[in-house]
Amino acid sequence: MNRIKSPTMKDVAREAGVSLGTVSNVFNGVSVSPAYKERVEEAAKKLGYTINRYARGLKTSETHVIAFVCPGTDHPFFGDLTNYINKALADRGYRMLLAVTQFIPDMEQRCIRLVSENKVDGIIALTYNPELQLEESIPFVSIDRQCSPTAPCVSSDNYSGGQLAAQKLYELGSRQLLFLSIAPKISGEPDKRRYGFESWCRASHVPFESVVIPDTDGFRPFLNILKARIRDGKPDFDGIFCNTDKLAYVILRMLKELGVSVPGQVQIIGYDGINMFGDPAMPCVSSICQPVREMAETAVSTLLSRGRPSMPTLICLPVTYRAGGTTRDREELAYIYER
Amino acid sequence: MNRIKSPTMKDVAREAGVSLGTVSNVFNGVSVSPAYKERVEEAAKKLGYTINRYARGLKTSETHVIAFVCPGTDHPFFGDLTNYINKALADRGYRMLLAVTQFIPDMEQRCIRLVSENKVDGIIALTYNPELQLEESIPFVSIDRQCSPTAPCVSSDNYSGGQLAAQKLYELGSRQLLFLSIAPKISGEPDKRRYGFESWCRASHVPFESVVIPDTDGFRPFLNILKARIRDGKPDFDGIFCNTDKLAYVILRMLKELGVSVPGQVQIIGYDGINMFGDPAMPCVSSICQPVREMAETAVSTLLSRGRPSMPTLICLPVTYRAGGTTRDREELAYIYER
DNA sequence: TCCTTTTCATGAAACGTTTTACACCCTTCC
DNA sequence: GGAAGGGTGTAAAACGTTTCATGAAAAGGA
C-alpha cells in the first residue's frame, strides 16, 4: 500500500500565495475576490488537488455519506432498491456506503455498528433482526419492517396489494382462490399481503384458502399441496396469489409440470413486480408491483429531512397491478421486441 | 439534521480517569495494563463510545473503505458482482462505497472523482468510458476492460468461453452454428467471446455465422434475422451462442413464437450464468458461467495487495458450462423443488 | 476631506484521532 | 545501594479541514 501523498489545501495555498482560509473559502463558495479565486483555482488544478472529505467531515460532522444496510444485492428486488436509493442519494449530493447482511441477524447488528463508526449522516436499513439495537445519534429509516417506535418505516402498501391481487383474480374470472406464501423470517409489513387478500375475499364472499410454509422447508411442500388439489387434471382452484414473484414463478413451473395450463385453467399473481434482467421489457409473471423507485425516494427524503415536527412512523406507498403472462389480460410476447 | 454529539476518546479518557493516549492504545491493541484496560473499556461501554473512523483516517490515511464503481445493481450480473465484492471486502475488514454510473461515461468520471475525495483506499470499477482519467494516487482495479496499462483488469476468460460454447453446441449435436450479439458500447474483454467462438468453429471446420447488432437498435433486428432464416418452420441453423444470457432469453422467446422448438430443433447457449432471483435452483438457459465469486475475490485481493513486484495487467478467470433448459443435456424442472 | 461601512484576506484554534518523545516506576543485577 | 533497563502512562504535536475574530483596504456618504 504505497500511496503517493496527495496535495492538501496548504499546498494549494502556498502555490497560489494565499492563506489557507482563502483556499477553503474558494472551495466552499464563500465570496472571494475574482483575482484570488482564479489564482487558487489555477493552483488547485496544477497540483491536481481534491478536497479531503474526511478532514472536512471531522470539522463539520457532516459526511454526506448514507449507509444502506441490506440483505444482498443478488436478489432482484434488493438490487433494484439499492440502485434507486443510490440514485436518490446521488441526486442530493450524498454517497452510499453499502453493507450486505445476507439475512444474518448478527451481521445486521454488526453492520449498523460498523457504519456508525464511519459517522454516516444516516442509515437506511432492511433488516430482520427483531432485537436490532440502533444508534440513537444517527438518523434511521427502515424499509418493510418497523424497527423502533421512533424510526420511520417505508414500505409498499402490502395490505392494499393483497386486496388488489384478490380483486384482480376475481375480475379476470377466477372464483376459487388460493394464497400461497413462504413465511418471512420475522413478522413485518409483508405479512399484510395475506391479511389484505383474505379480507377482500371475505368481504366479497369469494371462497379462498391460505397456505403458509416456513422458509426453511423450500418449495417441495407446495408441490404436494398442488398435487393433492388436482384431480384428473382439474385443480379445485382457479386463481393463486403468491406472496412473492419468485414463488409465483416456481408455482407456474409446478403447474406446468402437473399439466395445468396457466393462465387458461389457473391464473397466478405474484408480488414485487420483478423485471427479468432489470429490464421492464422482459417477460414476467402478473404481479402486484412495489413502487420501488418511490420507496427509495421516500426513504431518502424522509431520512434527510429528519427532525421535522410530525414524522409519520409508517409510510405505505401505493402499489399497482401489472399484467404479465400468468393472467388472461395479456397477450404474451409481442412486447419483448419493443425498445 | 440535529445530531446528538457522540462521545469522543477524550470523554472516555475523562470518564476513566486516564490519558487520551491510553484510550487510543486500548482501542488499537497496544499493550496496556489490565487494570487500565478494563477501566477504559468500562467507560467506553458506559458512554456508548464508538471510534470515529474519519478522525482515524485523517491520521493514518487508511480509511478501510473501497469504492466500487458499477453501472447499476439492477442487472443481475452486476447485482451478483456487487454482492460478492462486498463480501470479499467485508471479510477483509473493508467497507464499500458504492457508486452507480448507469452506463453514463460522464457519470463514471464524476464517480471516480467523488470517491477519490472520500480518500478511499482503492477503487474497483466496471466502466465504459474510453477516456476515463484515473487518480494516480489511488490503487485501481478494473473489471472487464483494460482502462490503463498500469491498472490490473479482472475478467472471465471470454475467449475460452466462446470456444467452450461452440464446442458444447457441437458436442450436443448442433452442426450449423450462429453467434448473436448486442455490440457493447465500447470494445473490451467481452468482445473475445466472439473471437473464441469463431476460432473454434474455424479450427473444427464447423460452419457458422456471426451477427452483431449495435446496442442502440434493441432486439427487433434479431427477429427479422431469425425469420429470414426459417423456411417452412425449418431454420437453417441448429445452434446459437448468444453473447449474454439476456439475449439468449430473448432469442428463446422469439424462436418459440416462430414455432421453432428449443432445444429440439435449435440449441441455445448464453453467457454470464445468471440465476433467476439470484437463486441457483431456479430454471435458466444453458450458459457459459462467469466465475463471479472468483472475479470478485481476485479483484479485491489484487487491489489490496497493490504494489507487489510483478502485477499481471490482465487476469482471466476460467469459465464453466452450465446445462440449462436450452440444450439437450438437461431434464428440465425437477431441480426447482430441491432446497 | 474625513468618517463610516462594507468587503475580503489572514492566522489561529478546533475537530477526534494517532504517534512520538518523554517521564515515571518497578525490577534486576552487580 | 546505585545504575541500567524494561515496561507503561502522559502530554503534545500532528493530520487537513472549517470557522472565527482581527484587521486592512476599498467604497460610500456628508
What are the residue ranges spanned by the domains of chain A?
A: 9-51, 65-156+293-316, 158-291+319-337
Of the candidates B82, B90, B282, which has its C-beta nearest A249's C-beta? B282
Per-residue pLDDT, averaged over B175-184, amounts to 94
pLDDT at residue B339, as a whole number:
35
Tell me the shortest Cα–Cα distance from B237 to chain A, in angstroms: 21
**Covered bases, chain D (protein CB within 7 Å):** 7-21
Band (A299; pLDDT cuts 50, 70, 90): very high
Instruction: Give, in Å, how far the C1' of C15 lies from the CA of B58.
Output: 11
pLDDT tens for residues A74-91? Answer: 999 999 999 999 999 999
Tell me the shortest Cα–Cα distance from B140 to chain A, in angstroms: 12
Q: Residue B103: which of B73, B131, B71 has the closest Cα?
A: B71
Instruction: Give, in Å, how far the C1' of C30 lies from the CA of A251.
Output: 89
Task: State in words which class domain A158-291+319-337 has.
Answer: alpha beta
Whether pLDDT at A109 is above 90: yes
Band (A331; pLDDT cuts 50, 70, 90): low
Superfamily of A65-156+293-316 according to CATH: Response regulator (3.40.50.2300)
Instruction: Give, in Å, how far the C1' of C2 lies from the CA of A14.
Output: 38
C-alpha span between A275 and B274 (Å, rounded)? 14
pLDDT at residue B4, as a whole number:
62
Contact A115, A99 (CB under 8 A): yes
pLDDT tens for residues B18-28? Answer: 999 999 999 99
Cell of A18: 494565499
pLDDT at residue B1, as a whole number:
41
Per-residue pLDDT, averaged over A138-154, amounts to 93
Instruction: Provide, rounded to the nearest whole percent, the portion of chain A with pLDDT above 70.
Output: 95
pLDDT tens for residues B114-140? Answer: 999 999 999 999 999 999 999 888 999
User: Number of C-alpha atoms within 13 angstroms, CB side, residue A189?
Assistant: 23
Contact B157, B189 (CB under 8 A): no
pLDDT at residue B337, as a whole number:
45
Q: How many CB atoms lie within 10 A of CB A196?
A: 24
Of the candidates B53, B72, B277, which has its C-beta nearest A119's C-beta? B53
C-alpha span between A116 and A278 (Å, rounded)? 31
Which ranges of A204-287 does DSSP label H, i.e. alpha helix? 220-228, 245-257
Per-residue pLDDT, averaged over B34-45, amounts to 92
C-alpha span between A128 and A140 (Å, rounded)? 15
Q: Residue B192: which of B169, B161, B149 has the closest Cα?
A: B161
CATH 1.10.260.40 fits A9-51, yes or no: yes
CATH code for the structural domain at B65-156+293-317: 3.40.50.2300
Q: Which of residues 206-265 of B touch strand D (CB under 7 A)?
A: none
The residue that leads in pLDDT, A216 or B307, is A216
* CA triple B123-B124-B128, angle to 5 deg: 115
Q: Do domains A65-156+293-316 and A158-291+319-337 have the same CATH topology?
A: yes
Contact B109, B125 (CB under 8 A): no
Do strands B122-125 and B95-100 pair parallel, antiparallel, or not at all (unpaired)? unpaired
B1 and A337 in contact by Cβ < 8 A? Answer: no
Per-residue pLDDT, averaged over B173-197, amounts to 93
Mean pLDDT of chain B: 92
The residue that leads in pLDDT, A26 or A307, is A26
C-alpha span between A90 and B108 (Å, rounded)? 13
A27 Cβ contacts chain D strand, under 7 Å:
yes
CA quadruple A253, A254, A258, A262: dihedral, nearest 10: -50
**Is A61 touching B (CB cutoff 8 A)?**
yes
- Ranking A126-135, A255-264, A322-331, B281-290 by mean pLDDT, the lowest is A322-331
Contact A201, A207 (CB under 8 A): yes
Cell of B270: 448464453
Contacts B62 to A, Cβ<8 Å: 1
Q: Which residue of A has its CA nearest to B113?
A: A50
pLDDT at residue A2, as a whole number:
44
Q: How many CB atoms lie within 10 A of CB A8?
A: 16
pLDDT at residue B81, as a whole number:
98
Tell me the shortest Cα–Cα distance from A174 to chain B, in angstroms: 26
Q: How many CB atoms lie within 10 A of CB A308?
A: 8
- Ranking A57-61, B5-9, B231-235, B334-338 by mean pLDDT, the lowest is B334-338
**Is B75 touching A (CB cutoff 8 A)?**
yes
pLDDT tens for residues B45-80? Answer: 999 999 999 999 999 989 999 999 999 999 999 999
**Which H/E stretch holds residue A230?**
strand A230-231
